[in-house]
């Protein structure tokens, strides 16, 4: 086994005391970056990039990639504790994670999130170790139509999740598309819906919308319910990690499926955010407890496992197309790519041949960095969970300030802070009127990308829709997407055909 | 505590020097953190160059105050340019520009112009190369253009970065020169374009050298010609058989199209000559480092540099040229 030998060589490269120290520093910094909404992995890595120029490329990439792993872990913390996604890929984690914390099970939710993240990363690293040349070739098959089919699949996998009025889901999603369309239209190169203002030119940033919709919206709602001077009765149990681990093997199907979804999306490269949404949507349909996903009364650990596994698997496997093709699978990978070029390394087909030390050192550090990350975050679980015992009246202003700093950091723009407040009000109104937030967020994050790839496909085919079925890959993806979209109707039809008209068929959320 | 004591003594010394220095020579220096604006996203060519400059400055201790790179890429860079325009007279802000300095205001009508900025220094010019998939039979630009013509209008797909920007400008110029018609498909970044070309989803690209070099070396892409007057000077072998120098200029294949992209540094308007001089000197030091020279060669950049009046004149001329190119291509906002 050539790969095993190379990997052992990689461990030898990565396992120097200096590199191990960098790894720990990287992971801790990454967790902090992940916790602060708005700062984000990409910005964090970019800020710290110049520091690594005096190191060897191998040490440099080990530290930077560990910041990335840390950020992937850290994103889950604020999502679960405060309903504020620290990173875009943690949005789906809030759906069940936050209600779990509200029920006093923050420790369990955090442990599940971290462990799933680790599992997702492990699957992705194994894939990178043993299958990278094959996988790289697969990614080349993706052009405009294929990308659109992937986004379509994400939307369709997710669309059935709302338990409420389908018209409300549709309305929320359309509003999201409208927000996503503001600013520069990348295909025609002109501005749209900026109404002649300068502030709207950059469009609505997904992070600002999410911080407002979730974080501020949540605070507004809690305020309305009356100021609580007591914290949540979160039992701080040092055994919470072990107890949760006992429960996790139950969800092995969900874990494996989510890891597969994540790896696929990372390699394509669709990114960690759509991966987490898609995985959540599919888990909800497939799980027998699917109807309880995201409910306030009985939130599911499985609903944390699915998005976290997929996000971390996608985030890790996103480094593969970066190394073999020079295409970043995520914004953070884009910055790492820039780092490679500055160090004088050329990502691309020859990197694995010419820079064995570097590549296998990096792959070995993926194993080690994720183990280090898991240890760091798991030991902190009781501490994180204890934060919730602080009364809301004390923690709310702190959360507000963190939100505001986060929104400001995205573009260094004060206008974004006002936008965040506005989105907070929208989030509050949505909750009051019982409109779902998830489709809105999904449309904001994927709307412009889906539009772009659709228009690329249409340009290539000169407006012929048949391009979406022009080969096995894109045709298969489109078909699966349509199948998922119409599944509730099909299931209903099948039931009728079989003549079993007993009881009311469960269409919504199935 | 000992260390802290030493630092405070040191600080006091520096403070004392700082007090006396202005009397001695009065050279301007930044007094707080300098913001380095990149009017593009993270990971692109401009971003890479900005972060390399940042890294070189930090590694060699060329600046006393910290430099912070900030990406403001919204609206094809309009976000960053407006930010610097609104910072009139602020000597603690610099911006790296690419061709969107000219194309973005022309295509979108966003109110800014290079005259809202103070030119500091041209760091380099970026080349454009015509690339095709290595599995295709075309060996020269002429063969490729003939194939496009034979296939009929809009049958061949040219991929490029962004819309109504440099890649599309070059595409339109090729179409006019060769009297052919291609379908232009815009993508987010140059790396995406190169991979789309390797995957055979598009037929050609005009990637910058650094965006496509990895795929060239991997034997997946083939360069046909460079959109410059002369060959690139870099003679070191990049692939087993070819160097950058082996790529002929496009006009030798009858495709008389020339385009180079500015990679230059600007400051806000209303800054003093002394303040500008500080950054000119700083960038001269950056350009003298081996890291910088190495980067130029890796990216096969055109090493032309300019500053002062010469640079200003060049920028003004370049604006007129873009005005003409954009008008001919029908890319001006409001169809002017």
- The CA distances from residue B217 to A351, B241, B242, in Å, are 10, 10, 9
- The CA distances from residue B332 to B110, B216, B247, B258, in Å, are 11, 35, 33, 20
- Backbone φ/ψ region at B132: left (φ over 0), alpha (ψ -120 to 50), beta: beta
Check: CB of residue A152 under 8 Å from CB of residue A450.
yes
- The DSSP 8-state label assigned to residue B203 in this structure reads S
Q: Is residue B15 part of a domain?
A: no
What is the pLDDT at residue B1?
A: 39
Q: Do B144 and B244 belong to one domain?
A: yes
Last residue of a domain, one of B253, B274, B297: B253
Q: Do B219 and B305 belong to one domain?
A: no
What is the pLDDT at residue B3?
A: 46
Phi and psi, residue A46, nearest 5°:
-60, -40
What is the pLDDT at residue B252?
A: 92
Q: Above 70 in pLDDT, residue B40?
A: yes
Q: Is residue B56 part of a domain?
A: yes
Chains A, B: CB pairs < 8 Å = 169
Is A184's CB within 8 Å of B75's CB? Answer: yes
- Tens digits of residue pLDDT in A179-220: 999 988 888 888 888 888 888 888 888 888 888 888 888 888
User: In a mutagenesis test of the B interface, which of A38, A39, A44, A46 is the best target, namely the one with the most B β-carbons within 10 Å?
Assistant: A46
**Number of domain units in chain B:** 2
Write the CATH number for B53.
3.40.190.150
Given A50, A185, A338, which is nearest B48 (Cβ)?
Answer: A338
User: Can you tell me the mean pLDDT for A375-397?
Assistant: 81
The token pair at A447 is: 């709307």
Q: Above 60 in pLDDT, residue A150?
A: yes
Last residue of a domain, one of B232, B253, B274: B253
Q: What is the mean pLDDT of chain A?
A: 83
Check: CB of residue A370 under 8 Å from CB of residue A363.
no
User: Can you tell me the mean pLDDT for A71-75?
Assistant: 83
User: B79 to chain A, minimum CA–CA distance in Å?
Assistant: 6
Is B43's CB within 8 Å of A328's CB? Answer: yes
What is the pLDDT at residue A164?
A: 66
Of the pLDDT bands very low, low, confident and very high (cuts 50, 70, 90), residue A237 is: low
B73 to chain A: closest CA residue: A202
A55 to chain B: closest CA residue: B59
Q: Do B190 and B164 belong to one domain?
A: yes
Ordered DSSP codes for A77-112: HHHHHHS--SSGGGHHHHHHHHHHHHTT-HHHHHHH
Q: Do B143 and B243 belong to one domain?
A: yes
What is the pLDDT at residue B265?
A: 96
- The CA distances from residue B177 to B160, B172, B253, in Å, are 18, 9, 12
Q: Is residue B78 part of a domain?
A: yes
Write the CATH number for B188.
3.40.190.10
Between B317 and B48, where is the model more confident?
Answer: B317
Q: Above 90 in pLDDT, residue A410?
A: no
Of the pLDDT bands very low, low, confident and very high (cuts 50, 70, 90), residue A229 is: low
Encode A411-434 in three state secondary structure: HCCHHHHHHHHHHHHHHHHHHHCC
Residues of B in contact with A328 (CB under 8 A): 43, 191
What is the pLDDT at residue B22?
A: 44
Sequence-separated (6 or more) residues with CB below 8 Å from residue B103: B76, B164, B165, B166, B169, B322, B326, B331
Name all contacts of A219-227 with Cβ < 8 Å and 24+ positions apart.
Answer: A219/A396, A219/A399, A219/A400, A219/A424, A220/A424, A220/A425, A220/A427, A220/A428, A221/A428, A221/A431, A222/A392, A222/A396, A223/A396, A227/A392, A227/A393
The listed range with the strongest mean pLDDT (A235-239, A290-294, B71-75) is: B71-75
What is the pLDDT at residue A186?
A: 81
Between A59 and A47, where is the model more confident?
Answer: A59
B190 to chain A: closest CA residue: A327
Residues of B in contact with A326 (CB under 8 A): 191, 194-195, 214-215
Strands B117-126 and B221-226: unpaired
* Least confident span in A70-74, B110-114, B222-226: A70-74
Sequence-separated (6 or more) residues with CB below 8 Å from residue A450: A148, A151, A152, A155
Q: Is residue B10 part of a domain?
A: no
Q: Do B135 and B227 belong to one domain?
A: yes
Q: Do B62 and B46 belong to one domain?
A: yes
Beta bridge partners of residue B69, listed in sequence order: B36
Last residue of a domain, one of B217, B237, B253: B253
Q: Do B87 and B157 belong to one domain?
A: no
Q: Do B109 and B220 belong to one domain?
A: no
Q: Is this complex's ipTM strictly greater than 0.90?
A: no
CB-based contact, B42 to chain A, within 8 Å: yes
User: A480 to chain B, minimum CA–CA distance in Å?
Assistant: 23
Of the pLDDT bands very low, low, confident and very high (cuts 50, 70, 90), residue B24 is: very low
Domain that holds residue B267: 29-126+261-335
- Tens digits of residue pLDDT in A78-137: 888 888 887 778 888 998 999 998 888 888 899 999 999 999 999 999 998 888 777 777
Q: Is residue B79 part of a domain?
A: yes
Q: Do B140 and B212 belong to one domain?
A: yes
Q: Above 60 in pLDDT, residue B14?
A: no
Beta bridge partners of residue B261, listed in sequence order: B126
The token pair at A300 is: 């599911």
- Tens digits of residue pLDDT in A331-347: 777 778 777 777 777 77
Q: Do B279 and B181 belong to one domain?
A: no
The total number of residues shown for chain B amounts to 336
Q: Is residue B4 part of a domain?
A: no
User: Can you tell me the mean pLDDT for B188-195?
Assistant: 84
Q: Is residue B280 part of a domain?
A: yes
Per DSSP, chain A holds a count of helices (H) and strands (E) of 23, 2
User: B8 to chain A, minimum CA–CA distance in Å?
Assistant: 25
Q: Above 60 in pLDDT, residue B195?
A: yes
User: Can you tell me the mean pLDDT for B127-140?
Assistant: 95
Q: Do B44 and B193 belong to one domain?
A: no
Q: Do B268 and B216 belong to one domain?
A: no
């Amino acid at each position: 086994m050539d790969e095993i030998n190379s990997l052992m060589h990689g461990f030898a490269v990565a396992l120097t005391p200096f590199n191990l120290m960098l790894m720990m520093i990287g992971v801790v910094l990454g967790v902090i970056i992940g916790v602060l909404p708005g700062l984000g992995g990409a910005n964090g890595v970019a800020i710290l990039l110049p520091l690594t120029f005096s190191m060897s490329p191998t040490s440099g990439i080990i530290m930077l990639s560990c910041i990335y792993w840390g950020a992937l872990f850290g994103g889950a913390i604020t999502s679960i504790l405060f309903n504020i996604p620290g990173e875009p890929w943690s949005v789906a984690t809030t759906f069940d994670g936050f209600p779990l914390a509200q029920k006093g099970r923050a420790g369990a939710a955090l442990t599940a999130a971290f462990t799933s993240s680790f599992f997702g990363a492990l699957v992705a690293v194994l894939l990178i170790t043993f299958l990278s040349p094959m996988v790289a070739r697969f990614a080349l098959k993706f052009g405009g139509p294929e990308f659109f089919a992937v986004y379509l699949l994400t939307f369709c996998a997710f669309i059935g999740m709302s338990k409420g009025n389908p018209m409300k889901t549709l309305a929320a999603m359309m509003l999201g598309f409208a927000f996503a369309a503001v600013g520069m239209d990348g295909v025609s190169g002109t501005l749209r819906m900026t109404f002649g203002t300068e502030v709207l030119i950059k469009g609505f940033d997904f992070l600002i919308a999410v911080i407002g919709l979730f974080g501020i919206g949540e605070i507004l709602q809690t305020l309305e319910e009356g100021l609580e001077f007591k914290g949540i009765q979160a039992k701080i149990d040092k055994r919470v990690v072990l107890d949760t681990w006992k429960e996790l093997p139950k969800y092995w199907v969900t874990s494996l499926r989510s890891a597969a979804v994540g790896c696929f999306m990372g390699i394509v490269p669709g990114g960690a955010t759509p991966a987490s949404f898609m995985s959540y949507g599919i888990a909800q349909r497939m799980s027998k407890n699917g109807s309880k996903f995201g409910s306030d009364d009985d939130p599911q650990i499985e609903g944390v496992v699915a998005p976290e596994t997929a996000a971390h698997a996608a985030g890790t496997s996103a480094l593969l197309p970066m190394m073999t093709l020079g295409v970043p699978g995520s914004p953070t990978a884009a910055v790492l790519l820039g780092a490679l070029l500055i160090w004088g390394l050329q990502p691309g087909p020859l990197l694995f041949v010419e820079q064995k030390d570097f590549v296998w050192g990096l792959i070995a550090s993926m194993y080690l960095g994720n183990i280090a990350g898991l240890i760091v975050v798991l030991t902190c679980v009781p501490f994180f969970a204890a934060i919730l015992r602080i009364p809301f009246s004390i923690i709310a202003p702190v959360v507000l300030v963190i939100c505001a700093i986060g929104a400001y950091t995205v573009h260094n723009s004060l206008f974004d802070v006002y936008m965040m407040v506005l989105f907070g009000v929208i989030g509050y109104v949505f909750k009051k009127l019982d409109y779902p937030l998830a489709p809105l967020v999904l449309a904001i994050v994927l709307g412009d990308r889906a539009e772009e790839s659709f228009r690329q496909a249409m340009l290539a085919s000169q407006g012929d829709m048949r391009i979406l079925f022009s080969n096995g890959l894109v045709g298969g993806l489109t078909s699966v997407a349509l199948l998922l979209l119409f599944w509730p109707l099909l299931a209903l039809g099948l039931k009728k055909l079989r003549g079993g008209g007993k009881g009311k068929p469960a269409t919504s959320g199935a | 505590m000992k260390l802290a004591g030493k630092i405070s003594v040191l600080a006091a010394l520096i403070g004392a020097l700082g007090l006396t220095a202005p009397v001695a020579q009065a050279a301007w220096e930044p007094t707080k953190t300098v913001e380095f604006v990149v009017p593009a996203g993270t990971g692109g060519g401009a971003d890479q160059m900005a972060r390399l400059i940042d890294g070189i400055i930090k590694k060699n201790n060329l600046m006393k105050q910290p430099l912070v790179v900030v990406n403001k890429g919204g609206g094809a860079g309009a976000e960053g340019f407006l930010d610097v325009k609104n910072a009139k007279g602020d000597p603690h802000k610099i911006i790296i520009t690419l061709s969107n300095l000219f194309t973005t205001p022309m295509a979108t009508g966003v109110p800014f112009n290079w005259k809202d900025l103070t030119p500091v220094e041209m760091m380099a010019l970026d080349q454009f190369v015509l690339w095709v998939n290595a599995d295709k039979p075309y060996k020269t630009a002429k063969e490729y253009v003939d194939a496009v013509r034979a296939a009929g209008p809009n049958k061949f797909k040219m991929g490029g970065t962004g819309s109504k920007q440099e890649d599309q400008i070059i595409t339109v110029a090729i179409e006019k020169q060769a009297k052919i018609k291609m379908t232009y498909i815009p993508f987010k970044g140059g790396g995406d374009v190169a991979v789309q070309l390797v995957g055979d989803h598009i037929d050609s690209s005009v990637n910058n050298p650094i965006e496509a070099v990895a795929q060239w070396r991997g034997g997946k892409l083939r360069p046909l010609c460079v959109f410059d007057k002369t060959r690139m000077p870099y003679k070191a072998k990049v692939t087993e058989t070819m160097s950058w120098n082996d790529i002929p200029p496009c006009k030798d294949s009858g495709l008389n199209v020339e385009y180079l992209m500015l990679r230059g540094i600007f400051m806000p308007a209303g800054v003093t000559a002394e303040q500008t001089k500080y950054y000119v000197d700083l960038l001269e030091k950056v350009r003298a480092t081996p890291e910088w020279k190495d980067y130029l060669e890796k990216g096969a950049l055109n090493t032309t540099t300019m500053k002062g009046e010469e640079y200003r004149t060049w920028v003004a001329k370049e604006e007129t040229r873009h005005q003409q190119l954009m008008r001919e291509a029908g890319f001006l906002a409001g169809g002017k």
